[in-house]
Amino acid sequence: MAYLDTYTNLLTSATAAHLLRRATFGPTRQEIIDFTGKTAQQAVELLISNAALGVSVAPPVEMDETRSDAGQPFLNKPFDHSRSGVYNNYIQYWWLGLMTEQKGRPSVLEKLTAFWQNHFVTAHTIVEDYRFVDRYIRFLRANALGNFKDLAIGITKDPAMLVFQNGFQNTKELPNENYGRELQELFTVGQKDFAGNNNYTEEDVKAAARVLTGWQVTNRNNIGSTSFGSTFNPVRHDISDKSFSEKYNNTVITGRSGESAGDGELLDLVNMLLAHPETPKFICRKLYRWYVNPNVTQEIEDQVIIPLATFFASPANNYAIMPVVKKLLSSNIFFDTRNIGAIVKSPAELVIGTIRFFDQPVPDLTTEFVPFRVMMNYIYFSLRLLEQNFLDQPSVFGFVPYYQTGYSKNWINGTTLGLRGVRTDALSNPGPVIKPDYVLGIDILKELRTIQPNFEDVAGTSAITCEQVLQRFTANLFAIELSQAQQDFLIDQIMMKGSSPRATWQHEWNAYRSTPQDETKQNVIFWRCRALLKYILRMAEFQLF
Amino acid sequence: MKRREFFAAASSLMLPVMLDGVGVRSFAKGSAMVESLRQTSALNNDRILVIVYLGGGNDGLNTVIPLEYYSEYNQLRSNIAIPESSVLKLAGNLETGFHPAMTGMRAMYDEGKLAIVHSVSYPNPNLSHHRSTDIWMTGVDSSQYASSGWAGRYLDDRFPSYPQNYPNGEMEDPLAVQIGQITATALLGPQQSMGITLQDPATFYQLIGEPNTTIDSNLPCCDAGDLINYIRQQQVLTIGFGSEIKKAAEAGVNLAAYPPASQNNELAEKLKIVARLIHGGLKSKIYYVELGGFDTHAEQVGTSSTEGLHAQLLKKLSDGIAAFQNDLKLQGTENKVLGMTFSDFGRRATSNASKGTDHGIGAPMFVFGTGIKRQLVGNNPDLINGLLPLTPTANNTNRDIKMQIDFRRVYADILNDWFGSAASKTDQFLFSNFNTTSLFSDFVQSISSGSWINPEIWSNGRVPDAGSTIKINPGHIVEVGHNITAKNVKVEQGGELKFLGDYNVNITG
């Protein structure tokens, strides 16, 4: 079985759920049903074609109902410095909304954009100007499935990146090396190859910085301005030739002058970086760690990373991203048992994934902007507390668990385990009020009524059992199915509190069926099911995906 | 809530956790076995290390300013240079001064509680944040890789087979505590983190709830099984240590004034928690805290070079450490705590046009506490003849600071002299033998043969002065070309003082 060959079994609910957990921020139960029975190829093609539906979406709006411009888009208005912090948050809410929405058309778009956002990192607290942040994230979304070369060129000139990595202060007199280094170390060739050899030299950093001299940004934080962007200023550009080391086959980038010098040399630079044999491997390894398993062994390097990289950079593919994502997500290795549950959920996968799994709808951004704000504010603070604040990473390396030894294990420690539990506990109880008729949290009674046939016929139709209740809450919830011993423990020790036989549940449930408006009867159901849900969502197994 | 309901709810916070069939609380605290273990405990050595990481690469030259080369300093970085008159002077040290924001650390220096280790780095320095920080944290050569941290390896050896059956009667507290979020590499043992990470002891205990034992210790295959095992262990340890931390936090008191909350000094807030835990009797050996923001590629100074980003950071650092030291003094815990700072790397001697500095090589480390025996290791970077590249080319005007002291020499001293680790063990933790810097020693020793006036042959990286007690080690020939005055000179058997003429040795001790 070649690891990268297409997985040919029809998707079961378990493998469909695996694909959806990895390709999106987590499936709804309906999506799992919809994808069951497809081939891996059909499923992945659908996830990719659905991305096209999501590219063009309504812009963020003013979400403060006390303001006269509430509900109106703000990005098309003259720059308002006083709203900078708030608008940056709205842009974050807008994106979190897209990750969380459930329109029944799951796509790879937001998860892949998040990959690029954590790859080509900028942070809004440093960039500041919200229009820059908006342009940056839209650029990544629009090119997430496009061509890596376009991404590398575009991001280098992106105003947010020019600010974040000091590219706009990089001049021939005194080059600022920040971006010249990160472009190589983090964005393209990577610092070292798999065997630990350096992929470039310190002199290459200096030479790259000189290639990139002269770029500037316009109207950043300029109150009332209606346009902004990046420009190339030939006066600040170093026109001398730039020589690179043998790591780049001693490439010399010819120094140029005039208006087109910046673009011309940048193209040469990116061509040189993409011709480095480590670049496609670096990107493919990072994609593998994001989608399949952070643990890259020599076998995986040889059998997956190298062939995928060869394909990525091949003349026929020429750095197109979409075919690589498609190949990886529909491969045998992706569905291999050893890779199921092999990653610790990031806070987004935990929080957004749980919200999606239990069908918590997202209010419409434009028509219900206040409920939208309330819900996204809740998600935003949850992720921020757990150290995953998108568009505001702690450093240019992105979130620590995507690069530090131990990788996704780094999401877990004493404090974060507690905090994760507190956030999932909130979903087993009634949580924040999103709007008068919508309280965030698992609707236990509604969930159970959907599995009780003939709800009102108490005498004629027997009550759902503990096993059915557990099944309702846990089917396809875990990447790793629970053992029989664990299921028994959950029912007898948690749901039945180690004190009542299972049949007691059916009496209690029937008592509720007889008088569904009786609060004391309802409370018994809540008492058992909330304890169960709380426990389930705190289990080590639930932290994996 | 009814009593029965309360217990049910409390236990439902717990997870199916069990280690090798032993519940985490199997050593009840008051049991005779535990008491006897405590009395005969091998861990009566109560010394503590506090590691302060300055994230991003601190600009050493604007932190510790080489007054003896002031005009060269000013020339290299006129757009960010601290005016000579603003530099804080140090007692008994005319050649060196501190950034004006560092009044607290200056006072510590003047009281003999702070040491400067000059131009610390390692051979073949790497200027990537990630890689260089990893080298510092794992304690390796720049060409080597290790997945465990230097402090983690020490703890792993001292507390074998952690985390199985910890906490236990012998060590009921976490081995190391990080105040922060994501665990630092320095604390990683061969298998996993040797410490626990918390933000605040009070909420920490609320978050983790009460312990419970249960059922299923089976694990699925492959990585998923490893991860589940890891998470369950974290749950057990966290629960097991939670009450000890809470107890220490409640018993401990901060006696000194810390910077007010309005200053947002996050480092001071973290050190305040550390001081409270130490005072409360937590036996953890290592504490780890971070202060980020030192990657000052641009605008590291404001309109005036004594203000701005770097000044704010150094103020936080200095105020935080000084308040912490003062707290320890008032608590009476001062003599058992040692602190050290480190950063990703230094920054270039030459500033850039954006009033910032790019990644560089050597930078000072600080070691603080009453346990230090000397305050200077190495000399100011030589800004006349000692910059890299040694002979700059026409289009490379960017100068860097050469290494004087390998950081692992400081680690080795801390392990050997502060924690009392056996030298052979220390060599194992650091993968090699490193010369002492004599930070914790009354005498200076030769580390190689050479001329007396070459600072590199001396353990403290400085030419001995009249107050030095000196030891010439076996196999070292030290050539003397002038009269010497010293407190004492001892030539070990096999060592030699070789006089190049008719010179005297004047012993004052």
Nearest 5°: phi and psi at B307?
-115, 180
| Cβ within 8 Å of residue A45, ≥6 positions away | A326
| Cβ within 8 Å of residue A328, ≥6 positions away | A4, A284, A287, A288, A291, A292, A308, A334
CB contact under 8 A, A534 and B208: no
Query: Does B166 score more than 80 pLDDT?
Result: no
Kindly state whether residues B330 and B461 are assigned to the same domain: no
**Domain count for chain B:** 2
The CA-to-CA distance between both ends of chain B, in Å, stands at 76
Cα distance between residue B131 and residue B139, in whole Å:
12
Write out the two tokens for B197: 């990470």
Taking contacts as CB-CB distances below 8 angstroms, the residues of chain B near A414 are 196-198, 204, 208, 234, 237-238, 241-242
Substitution target in B183, B192, B197 with the highest count of A β-carbons within 10 Å is B183
A297 touches chain B (CB under 8 A): no
Kindly state whether residues B281 and B149 are assigned to the same domain: yes
Kindly state whether residues A328 and A455 are assigned to the same domain: no
What are the angstrom distances between the C-alpha of B300 and each of A394, B291, B313?
18, 16, 10
A193 touches chain B (CB under 8 A): no
Kindly state whether residues B425 and B447 are assigned to the same domain: no
In DSSP notation, B227-252 reads: HHHHHHHHHHHHHHHHHHHHHHHHH-
ipTM above 0.85, yes or no: yes
Kindly state whether residues B149 and B285 are assigned to the same domain: yes
Instruction: Establish if A375 belongs to a structural domain.
Output: no
Taking CB atoms within 8 Å and a gap of at least 24, the contacts of A42-48 are A43/A11, A43/A16, A43/A19, A43/A330, A44/A19, A44/A326, A44/A329, A44/A330, A45/A326, A47/A19, A47/A23, A47/A106, A47/A107, A47/A108, A47/A329, A48/A107, A48/A108, A48/A145, A48/A322, A48/A325, A48/A326
β-pairing verdict for B443-445 and B400-401: unpaired
Residue-number span of the structural domain to which A93 is assigned: 13-339
A196: left (phi over 0), alpha (psi -120 to 50) or beta: left
Taking contacts as CB-CB distances below 8 angstroms, the residues of chain A near B197 are 413-416
Write the pLDDT tens digit of every residue in B226-285: 898 888 878 777 777 777 787 888 889 999 999 998 999 999 999 999 999 999 988 889
Answer for the pair A159, A228: CB distance below 8 angstroms, yes or no: yes
Hunting for tokens 């987590």 — which residue is that? Answer: A26
Distance of CA B286 to the CA centre of its chain: 10
Structure confidence at residue A223 (pLDDT): 95
Kindly state whether residues B67 and B141 are assigned to the same domain: yes
> How many CB pairs lie under 8 A apart between chains A and B?
191
A191 touches chain B (CB under 8 A): yes
Compare CB distances from A419 to B207, B223, B353 and report the shortest one's residue. Answer: B207
Structure confidence at residue B211 (pLDDT): 40
From B429, B451, B467, give the residue that closes a domain. Answer: B429
Alpha-carbon Rg for chain A in angstroms: 26
Cα distance between residue A520 and residue A458, in whole Å:
18
CB contact under 8 A, B208 and A414: yes
Cα distance between residue B103 and residue B319, in whole Å:
8
Indicate the SS3 state at residue A511: helix
Q: Any idea of the CA torsion for B5, B6, B11, B13, to the nearest 10 degrees?
A: 110
Instruction: Establish if B33 belongs to a structural domain.
Output: no
Name residues 88-147 of chain A within 8 A of B (Cβ): none
Kindly state whether residues B448 and B341 are assigned to the same domain: no
Mean pLDDT for the stretch of residues B385-396: 80
Cα distance between residue B476 and residue B448, in whole Å:
6
pLDDT bin (cut points 50, 70, 90) of residue B24 is very low
Instruction: Establish if A377 belongs to a structural domain.
Output: no
Instruction: Establish if B141 belongs to a structural domain.
Output: yes
Cα distance between residue B361 and residue B407, in whole Å:
12
Structure confidence at residue A163 (pLDDT): 95
Cα distance between residue A148 and residue A152, in whole Å:
6
Cα distance between residue A274 and residue A361, in whole Å:
42
Substitution target in B182, B215, B343, B361 with the highest count of A β-carbons within 10 Å is B182
Instruction: Establish if A314 belongs to a structural domain.
Output: yes
Kindly state whether residues B161 and B296 are assigned to the same domain: yes
From A310, A339, A368, give the residue that closes a domain. Answer: A339
Kindly state whether residues B476 and B370 are assigned to the same domain: no
CB contact under 8 A, A408 and B227: yes
From A286, A308, A339, give the residue that closes a domain. Answer: A339
Cα distance between residue A344 and residue B194, in whole Å:
20
A174 touches chain B (CB under 8 A): yes
Structure confidence at residue B194 (pLDDT): 73
From B429, B453, B480, give the residue that closes a domain. Answer: B429
A540 touches chain B (CB under 8 A): yes
pLDDT in tens, chain A (545 residues): 599 999 999 999 999 999 999 999 999 999 999 999 999 999 999 999 999 988 889 999 999 999 999 999 999 999 999 999 999 999 999 999 999 997 889 999 999 999 999 999 999 999 999 999 999 999 999 999 999 999 999 999 999 999 999 999 999 988 888 999 999 999 999 999 999 899 999 999 999 999 999 999 999 999 999 999 999 999 999 999 999 999 999 999 999 999 999 999 999 999 999 999 999 999 999 999 999 999 999 999 999 999 999 999 999 999 999 999 999 999 999 999 999 999 999 999 999 999 999 999 999 999 999 999 999 999 999 999 888 999 999 889 999 999 988 899 999 987 788 888 888 888 888 888 999 999 999 999 999 999 999 999 999 999 999 999 999 999 999 999 888 988 998 899 889 877 788 999 999 999 999 999 999 899 889 989 998 998 899 888 999 99
CB contact under 8 A, A410 and B147: no
Instruction: Establish if B230 belongs to a structural domain.
Output: no
Instruction: Establish if A159 belongs to a structural domain.
Output: yes
Answer for the pair A175, A385: CB distance below 8 angstroms, yes or no: no
pLDDT bin (cut points 50, 70, 90) of residue B353 is confident
Instruction: Establish if A33 belongs to a structural domain.
Output: yes
Query: Does B40 score more than 60 pLDDT?
Result: no
Indicate the SS3 state at residue B446: strand
Tell me the nearest-neighbour CA distance from B20 into chain A, angstroms.
17
CB contact under 8 A, B145 and A541: no
pLDDT bin (cut points 50, 70, 90) of residue B32 is very low
CB contact under 8 A, B207 and A480: no
CB contact under 8 A, A415 and B204: yes
Task: Please state, as a whole number, how many other Cβ atoms lie within 10 Å of the Cβ of residue A99.
Answer: 24
Kindly state whether residues B417 and B476 are assigned to the same domain: no
Alpha-carbon Rg for chain B in angstroms: 25
Write the pLDDT tens digit of every residue in B97-146: 999 999 999 999 999 999 999 999 999 998 888 788 889 998 999 888 88
CB contact under 8 A, B396 and A206: yes
Substitution target in B133, B212, B235, B239 with the highest count of A β-carbons within 10 Å is B235
Compare CB distances from A295 to B223, B231, B352 and report the shortest one's residue. Answer: B223
A408 touches chain B (CB under 8 A): yes
Kindly state whether residues B318 and B448 are assigned to the same domain: no
Tell me the nearest-neighbour CA distance from B12 into chain A, angstroms.
6
Residue-number span of the structural domain to which B309 is assigned: 46-208+242-429
Provide the b/e sequence for B43-52 (b: ≥16 CB within 10 Å): eeeeebbbbb
A293 touches chain B (CB under 8 A): yes
| Cβ within 8 Å of residue B386, ≥6 positions away | B401, B402
Instruction: Establish if B472 belongs to a structural domain.
Output: yes
Kindly state whether residues B138 and B274 are assigned to the same domain: yes
Answer for the pair B193, A413: CB distance below 8 angstroms, yes or no: yes
From B429, B457, B492, give the residue that closes a domain. Answer: B429
Answer for the pair A130, A124: CB distance below 8 angstroms, yes or no: yes
Instruction: Label residue A80 exposed, middle or buried (CB < 10 Å: 0-12, 13-18, 19+).
Output: middle
Taking contacts as CB-CB distances below 8 angstroms, the residues of chain A near B356 are 166, 169, 176
Instruction: Establish if B357 belongs to a structural domain.
Output: yes
Instruction: Establish if B222 belongs to a structural domain.
Output: no
* Best CA proximity match to B295, nearest among A156, A207, A395, A171: A395
Cα distance between residue B412 and residue B427, in whole Å:
8
Query: Does B201 score more than 80 pLDDT?
Result: no
Hunting for tokens 């997870």 — which residue is that? Answer: B15
Structure confidence at residue B395 (pLDDT): 62
Instruction: Establish if B116 belongs to a structural domain.
Output: yes
Instruction: Establish if A141 belongs to a structural domain.
Output: yes
DSSP-derived letter for residue A216 is E
Structure confidence at residue A161 (pLDDT): 97
Q: Is the peptide bond before B389 cis (omega within 30 degrees of 0)?
A: yes
pTM for the full model? 0.75
Substitution target in A293, A415, A541 with the highest count of B β-carbons within 10 Å is A415
Instruction: Label residue B373 exposed, middle or buried (CB < 10 Å: 0-12, 13-18, 19+).
Output: middle
Taking contacts as CB-CB distances below 8 angstroms, the residues of chain A near B182 are 387, 400-401, 404, 410-411, 413
Indicate the SS3 state at residue A16: helix
Cα distance between residue B209 and residue A538, in whole Å:
12
A45 touches chain B (CB under 8 A): no
Mean pLDDT for the stretch of residues B299-316: 95
Tell me the nearest-neighbour CA distance from B187 into chain A, angstroms.
12
Instruction: Establish if A478 belongs to a structural domain.
Output: yes
Task: Please state, as a whole number, how many other Cβ atoms lie within 10 Å of the Cβ of residue B364.
Answer: 26
β-pairing verdict for B286-291 and B176-179: parallel
Instruction: Establish if B254 belongs to a structural domain.
Output: yes
Structure confidence at residue B301 (pLDDT): 96
A315 touches chain B (CB under 8 A): no
Taking contacts as CB-CB distances below 8 angstroms, the residues of chain A near B137 are none
Instruction: Establish if A229 belongs to a structural domain.
Output: yes
Mean pLDDT for the stretch of residues B434-444: 96
Indicate the SS3 state at residue B265: coil
Kindly state whether residues B348 and B473 are assigned to the same domain: no
User: What CATH number did the domain enclosing B171 receive?
Assistant: 3.40.720
From A339, A372, A401, give the residue that closes a domain. Answer: A339
What are the angstrom distances between the C-alpha of A543 and each of A13, A270, A410, A477, B224?
20, 39, 12, 11, 10
A194 touches chain B (CB under 8 A): no
Cα distance between residue A49 and residue B56, in whole Å:
41
Structure confidence at residue A425 (pLDDT): 84
DSSP-derived letter for residue B283 is -
Cα distance between residue B480 and residue B170, in whole Å:
53
**Domain count for chain A:** 2
Taking CB atoms within 8 Å and a gap of at least 24, the contacts of B42-47 are B42/B170, B43/B170, B43/B171, B43/B283, B45/B419, B45/B420, B46/B283, B46/B336, B47/B285, B47/B336, B47/B337, B47/B338, B47/B371, B47/B418, B47/B419, B47/B420
Taking contacts as CB-CB distances below 8 angstroms, the residues of chain B near A191 are 128, 130-131
Taking contacts as CB-CB distances below 8 angstroms, the residues of chain A near B234 are 412-414, 417
Q: Do you know the residue count of chain A?
A: 545
Cα distance between residue B383 and residue B380, in whole Å:
8
